[in-house]
Every structure is written in C-alpha cells, then in structure tokens.
Amino acid sequence: MTIFALMARILLLETATDTCSVALGDGLQVIARKDASAPRQHAAEITLLIDACLKEAGWQLPELDAVALSSGPGSYTSLRVGTSVAKGICYALDKPMIAVDTLQALALASLQAEREEGVYFPMIDARRMEVYTAPFDAQNAPQGKAEAVIMEAGTFEEWHRRGIPVILSGNGAEKCRAVLPEDGVIFSAVGQCAAPMLLPLALRAFEAGAFSDTAYYSPFYLKPPNVTVSKKKLL
Amino acid sequence: MSITLLAIESSCDDTSAAVLRDGEVLSNCVANQEAHRLYGGVVPEVASRAHQVNIIPVVDLALKDAGVDKSELSAIAFTRGPGLLGSLIVGVSFAKALGLSLNIPLIEVHHMQAHILAHFAEDPKPAFPFLCLTVSGGHTQIVQVNSPFDMAVLGQTIDDAAGEAFDKTGKMLGLPYPSGPVIDQLAQKGTPKFDFPEPRIPGLDFSFSGLKTAILYYLQKQVRAEPDFVKDNLNDICASVQERIVTILLKKLRKASRQTGIKEIAIAGGVSANSGLRAGLKAMGGKEGWNTYIPAFEYCTDNAGMIAVAAYYKYLNGDFTSQSVQPAARLPQS
C-alpha cells in the first residue's frame, strides 16, 4: 500500500529547546498545535500536549502514518524527552520515525518568513555566547557542518567580505546583536523553534521513505559527553 | 482476566525491563553499561545516552522472553525516582508514551520500595511487619515494612552509602569499578587483621564517610613506610574493610530488631549480593532467632522485576498515575 505524502498524518515533536511544542500535520496542513505552558516542562507535559492535539483533530494515535521529531542539536534533557516519547509511540504502534534536522527546519522557516537572498544561520542557544549553528543557502541546502560556535564580532567576516547577507534565526540569534556588526546581518522574525516548522522536511522524508532506526536512533548531541577522568593517585 | 504488567527501570546505569503476569515475574532483562568502567564510576551523561539506545531492545527482549504481546498489557510500570534525572527521564518518558499509545494506565514506583518488595518475587516471602536493610551504591537504610504500601524509614546514612564505601576503597586500592564484587572476592581469600574504626552514630542512622577517610589515612601511612603494602596485603585489606562495613550494618540491624521486637529480617539492594553480608546476616539471625530473607542475585542489583512486583500491588489497589507525572531525582519514601 502506498500512502501519498500529501495525505500523510504526521505527529510533530519539537523538543530541541526550552519550549516543548507538539503539532499534527495532515498533508501540508498543520491542523493542531499545542505548546507547553512554561519553559522546561517537556517531561511533565509532552504526552498531554499530544493528547490535546489528537482530541482537537479528532484523531486516534493508531491512525498516524509517522512520528517526526526534531533531531537537535539542542538541550540534551529536552531532546531525550522527545526522543523517548517518539520511540515509545513508534514502538507501541509500529509506526515509522522521522528525524528532522532542527537547524534545517529553523533555516527553512526563516527562509519562508524573510524571502531574502543570502546565507541562513539558524541558531540554537547553547548558553553564554555559544550557539549551535550551520549555514544554509536560499534554497535551504546545507552549506557546511553544524558546529558549536562562540559568537564574536568577526564570526561572519568572510561572508561580509564577499558581500553576502547573513540571516540569523532561532533562540540563539538575539544575543548576537551585542557582538555582531550591524551591516550585512539580518535578524529573522523566526525566534523560537516550533513543531509546525518540522512539517515540510518531515513530509519530504516520509515521501522518500527516509526513516530512522527506531531502536538505535540517538539525538544529534553535537558534542561528546563532557567526562574528566581523575588521574590523581590516592596512595 | 489476567493482569499483565510491563515494568521499566532506568534510575542509574542499568536499563531494565520486566514482564509480570498475575504476580509472577515472567521475564527480567537488564542491559548493563560497560562504558562506566573506563571512567571509574557512573557518568550521568554517558548513562543517559546509553539508556536512549538500550530502551527498545531491552523492552522488546522482555516481552519476547515472556511470550507476551504488547496488546496483552494491562498497565505500564516505571521507576519514577529516586535516581539520576537524565536516566530516569528516558524510562519515564518512554513508559508514558507506551501508556498513551496502548491506551492503558501508568503505575509509578519508588525505586527503594521496589528493592524491598523484590522479596515478594519468589518464595520464601517475609511476613508483615518485617525489617529490611536496603544497601546499595546510593542508599543505606533500615525500613520497617508494615505492608506493601506502608513503610517507615527507621534509620539511614547521614553521608555516604555503604556501597560507596566499597567503591571508594576500591578506587584507593586501584581496583576496577564497580569494586564491591571485586573486594568481596578478594576478601574471601584474606583475614580481617586490620582494625578500622566503627563510627559512633546515634539511633539507627549510619555514617560511612569517616570510615572512608580512616581507610585512606591508614593506607597512606602504611604505603609511606612500605611501598608494596597494598600489593602484599590486598586480600587482608579487603577482608578488613568488608568485615567493618558488614558489622556496622548488622549491629544497627540488630538494634532495630531489638527496639521494634520484629524478628522477620530482610536485606535488599546491590550490596545484599555481598557474601560477607549474607553470611553475617545468617549468623546473627541464628543467634537472635530471626527469620532472615536474602533475595536472589538477580533481584539485588537494579532490575525491573522488582518494579513489576511493586507495581502489581499498586495495580491491585487501583493506584495509578496520570500522564502528567514526571521523574523525580529525589522522592520521599511514603
């Protein structure tokens, strides 16, 4: 049986940042969306938000065609909640799981909002002056690897020199105003990651059959665990 | 209608799942995380990441081992706490998603109560009320158990857990982590000829941090005088440390028994796998006229079988949890 992507029913889970966001996609349409009542409420609220979305749409979980989740990079704890819930649903109901690159989804949302020529840098806040980011062109194609970058005045020097505008979005963008030059930098209106942003890329993956291995999938942590082994000899 | 529960435990570094039907544990699967050996202790971020990839294979294995299909489950049980938050989040979130997807209730379980109720997985079962000494790498407590739902902590450690005393001694001696089982093996070949101090703690509480320091200072002093002291006396050091930890535990247990008049005495938790503690309990039980209860090895360390047993009592009692539940690194015991 072939399910056409435009008819697909996809549960969308965005848990890369502080605000947990859930939505339902019916083909290209987002037909329900619920966000957590406060930051860092993923563990308590995510299944309630899913249930509320389903009730609003009049759907049952078994009727879904797939579960799409934001892959990260982002908050480890938040990503773990989203990943565990996505795995639980997919395992329980034998549904395919789709991992959507958080940065690409954010870049696409800001591209659709701004319609500017230039290079898009979606930014996930990684505390202090650090952000997780990657470059995307005005067709939403990745132009480099995702990295953890400590923002400073010269971070985008090369793009400025080439006269290419830099378009920043995401919850890590705002703090860059303090260090970046004004010329050649556009701040997108797209600040927070939200579940509806996952839909276009989720549909594309669904159509291509690009599913994740539900059991062995891990979020995109970007950094290895920070482990220091004590070399101190006690005796 | 039979009652079939799937239980999930992910409070520390082991991912575990179990299936129980009508009070009988049908399967109890544990995925250990070897990675922590490299670091000499549990690294929370490493543990959390490992749970994330272990959870489905372990749950799937538990269901297959039990010959149970997801559709037959009556409820999903899980460890809510206490434990490492990043680890708990994986098990709790997965359990909630299963409950939502299969449209069945959730049962939250207190990890420490589950260690105690592990005694009801197999015969012989202690009679209520009984006393349980629960000892692990994270906890040391004496609990009066009046029923599966009524437990009172009579005493507990004011600093380190007994299991920590084993692990930290192992670190000093250069033994691999977790050191408890290694010290136990070496101790069996040695004699407890070194005398380490017994802490004076009032009531039924415990303290192990002073002992840890005393062991360190003693060993440092000996090594200065005799560089090969540890190598030459390893078995005897292990025997001495183990003997001291076990006597601290058992003396308080005897005190609790005499105070309460309860002679049904159980031990639980990872350290209850220690041969010195097992033998010591039997010996003391003989003198004091106790009925003693020691869990099978698979029910000593962290496992989901014990979560399933605890959840079974809650199921019979109609004690379910809502989907708004979240993990708790610290969780009061009653």
Per-residue pLDDT tens for A25-49?
999 999 999 999 999 999 999 999 9
Please report the pLDDT score of residue B334 as a whole number.
62
In a domain? residue A220: no
- Quick check: B45 and A229 CB within 8 A? no
B302 annotated binding-site participant? yes
Q: Count CB neighbours of B334 within 10 A.
A: 10
In a domain? residue A227: no
Is A97 in the same domain as A15? Answer: yes
- Quick check: B101 and A93 CB within 8 A? yes
- Quick check: B219 and A235 CB within 8 A? yes
Instruction: Give the number of A-B residue pairs with CB atoms closer than 8 Å.
Output: 115
Give the gap in angstroms from C-alpha B262 to the nearest C-alpha of chain A: 41
Contacts with A89 from chain B: Cβ below 8 Å: 97, 100-101
Does residue A62 carry a pLDDT above 80?
Answer: yes
Residue boundaries of the structural domains of chain B: 4-116+301-316, 125-294
Q: Count CB neighbours of B228 within 10 A.
A: 8
Is A88 in the same domain as A109? Answer: no
ipTM: 0.96
Please report the pLDDT score of residue B333 as a whole number.
81
Is A119 in the same domain as A165? Answer: yes
Burial (CB count within 10 angstroms: exposed 0-12, middle 13-18, buried 19+), residue A13: buried
Q: Are A122 and A136 in contact (CB under 8 A)?
A: yes
Is A8 in the same domain as A93? Answer: yes
User: What is the extent of the structural domain holding A160?
Assistant: 103-187
Which residue of chain B is at minimal alpha-carbon distance from A91?
B56
In a domain? residue A152: yes
Angstrom distance (rounded) from CA B263 to CA A224: 51
pTM for this one? 0.96
Is A135 in the same domain as A182? Answer: yes
Q: Averaged over B18-26, what is the pLDDT?
A: 98
In a domain? residue A216: no
Please report the pLDDT score of residue B295 as a whole number.
94
Does residue B302 carry a pLDDT above 90?
Answer: yes
Is A10 in the same domain as A78? Answer: yes
Closest by CA position to A193, among listed A117, A79, A96: A79
Residues B233-267: tens digit of each pLDDT: 999 999 999 999 999 999 999 999 999 999 999 99
Is A128 in the same domain as A174? Answer: yes
> Residue A20 sits in a domain of what CATH number?
3.30.420.40
In which band, very low, low, confident or very high, does the pLDDT at A4 lie, cut at 50, 70 and 90?
low
In a domain? residue A98: yes
Reading the block at residue B318, the tokens are 């109609």
Angstrom distance (rounded) from CA B318 to CA B107: 9
Burial (CB count within 10 angstroms: exposed 0-12, middle 13-18, buried 19+), residue A42: buried
CATH number of B125-294: 3.30.420.40
Number of domains in chain A: 2
Please report the pLDDT score of residue B101 as a whole number.
98
Does residue A56 carry a pLDDT above 90?
Answer: yes
Angstrom distance (rounded) from CA B104 to CA B98: 8
Reading the block at residue B332, the tokens are 């009061």
- Quick check: B93 and A227 CB within 8 A? no
Return the CATH fold of B4-116+301-316.
Nucleotidyltransferase; domain 5 (3.30.420)
In a domain? residue A91: yes
> Residue A141 sits in a domain of what CATH number?
3.30.420.200
Burial (CB count within 10 angstroms: exposed 0-12, middle 13-18, buried 19+), residue B297: exposed
Please report the pLDDT score of residue A3 as a whole number.
53
Does residue A1 carry a pLDDT above 60?
Answer: no
Reading the block at residue B88, the tokens are 């708990």
Q: Which of B33, B46, B89 to mutate to test the interface with A (most CBs of A within 10 A)?
A: B89
